[in-house]
Amino acid sequence: MDIHEYQAKEILAGFGVAVPPGALAYSPEQAAYRARELGGDRWIVKAQVHAGGRGKAGGVKLCNNDQEIVDACEGMFGQRLVTHQTGPEGKGIYRVYVEGAVPFEREIYLGFVLDRSSQRVMIVASSEGGMEIEEISAEKPDSIVRSSVEPAVGLREFQAREIAFALKIPPALTQQMVRTLMGCYRAFRDLDATMVEVNPLVITSDNRILALDAKMTFDGNALFRHQQISELRDKSQEDPRESRAADRGLNYIGLTGNIGCIVNGAGLAMATMDTIKLAGGEPANFLDIGGGATPERVAKAFRLVMSDKNVEAVLVNIFAGINRCDWVAEGVVQALTANPVDVPVVVRLAGTNVEAGLKILNESGLPIIAATSLMDAAEKAVAAWRGENGGDKVHYIKAGAN
């Protein structure tokens, strides 16, 4: 789960990371008022969206007076900010964050991520802050400092000092840098984050180290332990299909293709998408219904897939171990009976209670395209989507197929 910049800064400030004073606004007039409250003579107005690259896309504006703040906000509110991370659809702007402009001497990149290969928290830092880490890695790889944290002891102060020395932080500011590193690490560890990024972390003209921008991402599977983090979720920044799936306990990721997928198991779901691509089609989603799917859960998954208007065919691929084919079949029948669809449905069942599942589908009288293997299912789904079944897209499941 992602959160907004202002939320990440509030969290990091609670762990001892220094951030500039700022205030949230929901209208141009409120933004101007917030600037007057903050004081000063120059302000930064930042669109609050879950995406990087806001500055290049026009989502960050430097303003010198109330009118410039109002004009900047009027150009943001209600618009969709398109960056390299949002895709062409962009993200809606419904709130802005106003900060006093901070003169600074240096920009630093600082990130904490999970390194799955070493199974440790990896600290990535660079003296080339203000750039995206992908750009830094491509253009100035020698500037990147990496340090992994031993999980048994956590980040130690000597390790934080080594990072500060590698970044050539002035000796007088080393302790501030150590405090910043330790605070970011504690926030990462204590709140089950999967990423903490401060870019840029700056050294100001009056010798302070401040986090001018911040991002945090959290492990969705650990949110039950952190109610205060769950409450920061902003559904307006999420794919509505993924929001509906999350609210129903389903693992769903929306894609841009036309063939909807209902699969049990993440590995099989990925294999199904790859096979659809191999057969010449494009998957519309990743959907894992889990290992213990009930008929009601399968029906929910079916309705979720069909809520995507781009779906022109559906492939149900179930290999039942913990799951049961008869449960899946009952869910498909339940979904298609309650909400008939006008797109072809391909079903491939294998494993536990496959005969019972196939019998349920056969006796339902529903038009189903039978498949005997994953490749066969993918090819038939693509052919049905293209209307290549000789003008007849309907075949019935026959009991005994596998």
Annotated catalytic sites, by residue? Answer: 109, 197
Rg from Cα positions in the chain: 26
Confirm or deny that 29 is annotated as ligand binding: no
Confirm or deny that 190 is annotated as ligand binding: no
Question: Which residue type occupies 26?
Answer: Y
Confirm or deny that 296 is annotated as ligand binding: no
Phi, psi at residue 253, to the nearest 5°?
-135, 120
Angle, in degrees to the nearest 10, between helices 295-306 and 240-247 = 170
Long-range contacts of 334-337 (CB under 8 A, 24+ apart): 334/295, 334/296, 334/298, 334/299, 335/298, 335/299, 335/302, 335/303, 335/306, 336/302, 336/364, 336/366, 337/364, 337/366
Confirm or deny that 5 is annotated as ligand binding: no
Confirm or deny that 213 is annotated as ligand binding: yes
Confirm or deny that 207 is annotated as ligand binding: no
Confirm or deny that 235 is annotated as ligand binding: no
DSSP-derived 3-state class of residue 375: helix
Confirm or deny that 282 is annotated as ligand binding: no
Beta strands in 272-390 (DSSP E): 285-288, 313-320, 345-351, 369-370
- In the chain, the largest separation of any two C-alpha atoms, in whole Å, equals 79
Confirm or deny that 265 is annotated as ligand binding: no
Confirm or deny that 55 is annotated as ligand binding: yes
Instruction: Count Cα atoms within 13 angstroms, Cβ side, for 298.
Output: 26
Positions at the binding site for Mg(2+): 199, 213
Positions at the binding site for ATP: 46, 53-55, 99, 102, 107
Positions at the binding site: 46, 53-55, 99, 102, 107, 199, 213, 264
Positions at the binding site for substrate: 264
